[in-house]
Amino acid sequence: MKSAWLEKNTFHHSAFKDIERLVGEKERRSLRISVCLPTLNEEQTIAKEILIIKSELMLRHPLVDEIVVVDSGSEDHTREIAEEYGARVFQAEEILPHLETFRGKGENLWKALYITTGDIIVYLDADIKNIHHRFVYGLLGPLLLFDTLKFSKAFYDRPITDKNNIRRPTGGGRVTELMVRPLFSMFFPELTQILQPLSGEYAGFREVFEAIPFPIGYGVETAMILDIYRRWGLDVMAQVDLDRRVHRNQNIHALGKMAFVILKTFCSRLEKLKLVNFSQETFDEMIQYTLVKNRFQPETQPMKGLERPPMLEIPEYREKFHPV
């Protein structure tokens, strides 16, 4: 497998720290930029993310035009705090309310397409403890400075070999290294060059996001990469080293559920592409066990792997963004 893409399309955020240059490109190309933060009970970190992005990339440099929070029904003060610091705040269920309601990160990202106004949308997880505006300008840099790039994805912790060429792990999480990378290696070896395919921070042009389906839950990142790859190829993608990212850790049970949904998403893509043929239907429940008073107790979680269709197929969206 060639690794030309890895060398050509991998950047470090510092390459884009001249924010005025990015603003100039944005203005030259008459683009609008939206930042979207999907939330569920993020009162500890949401204010800081909004504050820093607004202060650095809206007030000091007019790079970002709007910050939108799409909330899945937080029970803490997330929405109130986000409003206080000037974000546009929506509850996911209030967007396109006639559609059946689902709850999940992918659902929020998909619905954000309807209420944001940007030509480029930057998606950031809302639980980043060490938020810095590099998370935004780093992802925007490749899209604004290279005409061929349509989608950029974050990776962290400088996983590339260091100055002395000492080998280091790529910094992917457990689900990436134990499941996604083996699957990519088996079916789409080119995609293994994406160092952290599950990172929750990415940016892209609306024309890309509106044309692909969005799984409503954890499968959204994997599906996005596979669908963009199938439709436009790897060369429209870039990855950006954003240095360190600090966030809360998930326990192994939560990661198990995440892996289940991602695997389901992956299998559905493989079937559509006729790369595999399952002789029987797969099940929609994740079964995990816990030890309670010396007895193993099963916990069953229904996980259907639902997906939203490309937003372009929604009439209200077409009317709003592509009126005839």
How far, in Å, CA of 95 to CA of 91, rounded? 7
Q: Are 270 and 188 in contact (CB under 8 A)?
A: no
Q: Are 265 and 305 in contact (CB under 8 A)?
A: yes
| Minimum CB distance to other proteins smaller for 129 or for 174 | 129
In the shown chain, the binding pattern of residues 8 to 47 toward other proteins, with x for contact by CB under 8 A and - for none, equals -----------------------------------xxx-x
Give least dist CB 41 to other proteins, A.
Answer: 13
Which position among 14, 21, 29, 80 is part of the footprint of other proteins (CB under 8 A)? 80
Which position among 81, 143, 223, 314 is part of the footprint of other proteins (CB under 8 A)? 81
Residue 247 in tokens: 């966030």
| Minimum CB distance to other proteins smaller for 17 or for 32 | 17
| Minimum CB distance to other proteins smaller for 43 or for 119 | 43
Q: Please report where in the chains the tokens 């990469």 appear, as a residue.
A: 225
Give least dist CB 78 to other proteins, A.
Answer: 10
| Minimum CB distance to other proteins smaller for 42 or for 241 | 42
CA 234 to each of CA 20, 77, 212: distance values in angstroms, whole numbers, following the listed order: 29, 40, 15
Which residues 86-145 are close enough to bind other proteins by CB under 8 A?
86, 129-130, 132
Give least dist CB 130 to other proteins, A.
Answer: 6
Which position among 14, 55, 282, 290 is part of the footprint of other proteins (CB under 8 A)? 55
How far, in Å, CA of 208 to CA of 199, rounded? 18
Which position among 18, 84, 271, 285 is part of the footprint of other proteins (CB under 8 A)? 84
Which residues 217-246 are close enough to bind other proteins by CB under 8 A?
246
Give yes or no for residue 186 binding other proteins (CB under 8 A).
no
**Torsion angle, alpha carbons of 302, 300, 262, 71, to 10:** 60
Q: Please report where in the chains the tokens 């049970």 appear, as a residue.
A: 253
| Minimum CB distance to other proteins smaller for 19 or for 144 | 19
Give yes or no for residue 54 binding other proteins (CB under 8 A).
yes
Give yes or no for residue 62 binding other proteins (CB under 8 A).
no
Give least dist CB 214 to other proteins, A.
Answer: 30
Residues binding other proteins (CB under 8 A): 43-45, 47-48, 51-52, 54-56, 59-60, 77, 80-81, 84-86, 129-130, 132, 246
